[in-house]
């Protein structure tokens, strides 16, 4: 990977264990490219493997988050006989099982594949005035990258159909009303607000517990109630008497910040639910 490719996505970790991953093509409004894609997922892997990192923030440099695939790539792919060569691409949801919370700080235009990146995140902050669109139908495309599966699970069936069918543009306040983002803040306060949230959970929440919660929520989307309940009881058994549980209770009763260990690089949240059972 060239030095230039390294600069397409920036990476920094603060003293709280919060890694900030920044899409960095401001001259192209952070339009998505294949080298950027490889670098982005490489850095997510780096954050996942680093025990010092507890939370990840994804944002964009300049005034945009990511307005979608670079138009030059779209023009190339639109020519007759072109293949997308998806086998050579990084699978878009391959980091869905990242064992650490991922927070989006959406600082501006968020469309197409940029919207996919925002939806891969667990919690989304948006700058007031940021604009969103699925965009696909207005480019002569159907819903890409599994968005027709993901979007209804975030904002409901009719709202998802509205946005997917129309490809219309909507702003951050409507995104919040739809449930697409959870916070809307002034643009100059966005990154500070996302970092305050990320630092709070990095300091006060067990990395193991957060990894298992994330695993539960995404996995249970495709399970029935009884199976999910059995797995829930398994997590209760897993954490009972654990060092994290003892520290969580002790820090609460002693009125002090907790001292949870970082997440080992080989931690598998599935271990907490592998032997699912019901106690009755």
How many C-beta neighbours within 10 Å does residue 32 have? 22
Phi-psi category of residue 167: left, alpha or beta, with phi > 0 → left and psi -120 to 50 → alpha: left
pLDDT at 150: 94
Contacts of 136 (CB under 8 A, 6+ apart): 112, 142, 143, 144, 147, 164, 167
Contacts of 232 (CB under 8 A, 6+ apart): 216
pLDDT at 104: 98
Residue found under tokens 């892997």: 45
How many C-beta neighbours within 10 Å does residue 22 have? 22
Distance CA 78, CA 76 (A): 6
pLDDT at 238: 94
Ranges of residues in the chain with a pLDDT under 50 are: 1, 3, 75
Instruction: State both tokens at 223.
Output: 């399970």
Give the pLDDT confidence of 96-137 residue by residue, as tens digits.
Answer: 789 999 999 999 999 999 999 999 999 999 999 999 999 999
Vertex 31, ends 28 and 37: CA angle to 5°? 130
pLDDT at 76: 56
pLDDT at 79: 52
Domains of the chain, first to last: 3-202 (3.90.226.10), 206-272 (1.10.12.10)
Nearest to residue 100, comparing CAs of 57, 61, 41?
57
């Amino acid at each position: 990977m060239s030095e230039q490719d390294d600069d397409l996505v920036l990476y920094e970790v603060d003293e709280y264990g919060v890694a900030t991953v920044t899409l960095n093509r401001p001259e192209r409004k952070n339009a998505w490219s294949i080298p950027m894609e490889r670098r982005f997922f490489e850095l997510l892997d780096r954050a996942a493997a680093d025990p010092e990192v507890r939370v990840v923030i994804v944002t964009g440099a300049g005034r945009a988050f990511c307005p979608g695939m670079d138009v030059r790539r779209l023009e190339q792919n639109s020519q007759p006989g072109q293949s997308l060569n998806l086998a050579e691409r990084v699978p878009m949801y391959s980091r869905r099982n990242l064992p650490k919370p991922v927070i989006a700080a959406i600082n501006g235009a968020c469309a197409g594949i940029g919207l996919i990146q925002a939806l891969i995140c667990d919690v989304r902050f948006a700058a007031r005035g940021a604009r969103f669109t699925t965009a696909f139908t207005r480019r002569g495309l159907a819903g890409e990258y599994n968005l027709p599966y993901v979007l209804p699970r975030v904002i409901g069936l009719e709202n998802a159909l509205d946005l997917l069918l129309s490809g219309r543009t909507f702003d951050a306040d409507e995104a919040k009303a739809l449930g697409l983002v959870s916070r809307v803040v002034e643009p100059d306060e966005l990154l500070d607000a996302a970092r305050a949230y990320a630092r709070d959970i990095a300091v006060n929440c067990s990395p193991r517990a957060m990894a298992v919660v994330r695993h539960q929520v995404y996995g249970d989307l495709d399970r029935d109630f009884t199976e999910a309940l059995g797995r829930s009881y398994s997590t209760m058994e897993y954490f009972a008497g654990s060092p994290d549980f003892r520290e969580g209770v002790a820090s609460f009763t002693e009125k002090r910040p907790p001292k949870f260990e970082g997440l080992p690089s080989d931690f598998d949240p599935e271990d907490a639910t592998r032997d699912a059972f019901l106690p009755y």
